[in-house]
Amino acid sequence: KIIIIDFGSQLTQLIARRVREHNVYCEIHPFNHIPEIDDTVKGIILSGSPCSVREVDAPMVDLKHLISKVPLLGVCYGAQLLADSLGGNVEASTTREYGRAILGKIEDNNSLFANIAVGTQTWMSHGDTITNLPSNARVIASTDSVEMAAFQFNDVEVYGIQFHPEVTHTTDGKTLLKNFLVGICGCAQSWTSDSFVETSVAEMKEQLGDDKVVLGLSGGVDSSVAAMLIHKAIGKNLYCIFVDNGLLRKNEFEEVLESYKGLGLNVKGVNAKDKFYEALKGLTDPELKRKAIGKTFIEVFDDEAHQIQDVKWLAQGTIYPDIIESVSVKGPSATIKSHHNVGGLPDYMKLKIVEPLKLLFKDGVREVGAAMEMPTAILSRHPFPGPGLGIRILGDITAEKVRILQEVDYFFIQGLKDAGLYDGVWQAGSMLLPVQSVGVMGDERTYESVVALRAVTSVDGMTADWAHLPYEFLADVSNKIINNVKGVNRVVYDISSKPPATIEWE
């Protein structure tokens, strides 16, 4: 495996995903918590950072200890740290070093640049520049303005690059990473979805034996793929519970239940709509609504789980980004999530936890699902918040408002699918606003609800841009909604990016 040492860059997870695209397993560890570098570690990558090595409290690692063990690649801050700590010099740069830059010079026959030609485009983003290399290092690539764009030590396999190979603007970034992983570190490229399925099923067979496992399905990608993996390992001993909280999309409960049954899963659908509506009655504060939904879910789930005799394990669809220890180098890390994933079960259930996806990123989860031949309708689903339409109906929730929003949402989502726009959007949904606006229908004035449509493009939901959907499409959806959904007379489209706006309205 490869160890990626995180100094707090927003791009660290992207480096990890790129490494995995080469079928090489990697782990991210914070700079102040590095695991032992044993024989399983084939190489180390040092990430970028929002910090400067010139700051007194800049994040540091014991490089002398690391470089003697395995090949090492420093990216951006990582490269500057190598230069700075091993005898070179880093200063604030005088020329602009953001954005695209062309490598005008590359050392002949350099292993890191194998199959990469002079003139290749890279992407830079740094305010510091390396002005002097350590005496035992040499420049291996330069741009017009950055002489030490890449360097290598003469006596050890240690490389530094000022540019970011993980972003797509670095045209040969993929090749460079492959050169490092395969050519320099000797990684086998054997970590594939098929091999993941095979090993994790074998491990769970061993770990779970004849024990019974309970899992809450949500209709989303993670819990579905987790269920399939466990099902492969223990079959009918996996008891899935799918709760209708009355806040799902139109027809979703029935459709998803059918598709789960089609996959051979042992799944029980529980209609608990009324319980949820009762718990939500009169609540308008978003956090109170979230709490009420979470608490009711646990009560319903707990009741159901107790009906399974001798259940020993609780399975969860936790994924890698949920467990990566986040580094906080400058204030709170951008990756902290507060409201996600309903917070566990009551203590008295005392179940052991099994989390078969905890080493995977979202794209990896989808690939593993595909390797198990799960339907794309499940795998390509947009993310949907646990509290569902409960946080998309602003203000208090009633069954009638849910009905209205389900209809609206149906025209929007079905419209996206019919127009071939669904897969290009990261997440889409509709919000029922707590305002009435005036309209005319025929000769009459109406005074009815306003709905907002929201569609975003994103990589991980942490930042997002509003999706630039075609006007004709928006016009068509708006017409369909106003003509078909009683109670709605105005449709608006949300053109805010995140930050500063969030994806959800509550």
- Active-site annotation, residues: 76, 164, 166
Check residue 466 for interaction with ligand XMP (CB under 6 A).
no
Backbone CA torsion sign across 27, 32, 38, 39? positive
Residue from 50, 104, 383, 395 binding ligand XMP (CB under 6 A): 383
Residue with tokens 């849910």: 402
Residue from 183, 395, 461, 487 binding ligand XMP (CB under 6 A): 461
The span of 96-104, 229-237, 361-369, 378-386 binding ligand XMP (CB under 6 A) equals 378-386
Q: How far is CA 452 from CA 56, 219, 394, 426, 461, in A?
A: 48, 24, 11, 17, 19
Residue 308: DSSP 8-state: S
Nearest residue (CB) to ligand XMP, 355 versus 504: 504
The contact pattern for ligand XMP, residues 402-441, with x = CB under 6 A and - = no contact, is: -------------------------x--------------
Count of Cβ atoms closer than 10 Å to residue 61 Cβ:
17
Structural contact between residues 59 and 17, judged by C-beta atoms closer than 8 angstroms = no
Residue from 162, 387, 410, 489 binding ligand XMP (CB under 6 A): 387
Check residue 164 for interaction with ligand XMP (CB under 6 A).
no
Check residue 169 for interaction with ligand XMP (CB under 6 A).
no
* β-sheet bridge partners, residue 103: 143
Could you give phi then psi for residue 466, rounded to 5 degrees? Answer: -70, 140
Whether 269 has a binding-site annotation, put simply, is no
Residue from 137, 385, 406, 454 binding ligand XMP (CB under 6 A): 385
- The rounded distance, in Å, linking the Cα atoms of 459 and 436 is 35
The span of 233-241, 370-378, 381-389, 431-439 binding ligand XMP (CB under 6 A) equals 381-389
Structural contact between residues 394 and 506, judged by C-beta atoms closer than 8 angstroms = yes
Ordered alpha helix ranges (H), 192-272 = 193-208, 221-234, 252-262
Whether 222 has a binding-site annotation, put simply, is yes
* β-sheet bridge partners, residue 360: none
Largest separation between any pair of C-alpha atoms in the chain: 86
Count of Cβ atoms closer than 10 Å to residue 235 Cβ:
11
Check residue 160 for interaction with ligand XMP (CB under 6 A).
no
Check residue 362 for interaction with ligand XMP (CB under 6 A).
no
Whether 435 has a binding-site annotation, put simply, is no
The span of 90-98, 167-175, 380-388, 431-439 binding ligand XMP (CB under 6 A) equals 380-388
The span of 209-217, 385-393, 406-414, 442-450 binding ligand XMP (CB under 6 A) equals 385-393
Look at residues 250, 231, 174 and name the one whose alpha carbon lies nearest to residue 15.
Answer: 174
> Interface residues for ligand XMP in 249-308 (CB under 6 A)?
290
* β-sheet bridge partners, residue 498: 464
CB of 338 to ligand XMP, least distance (A): 9
Which spans of this chain sit near ligand XMP (rule: CB under 6 A)?
A: 290, 339-340, 383, 385-387, 427, 461, 498, 502-504
Residues flagged as binding site for ATP: 218-224
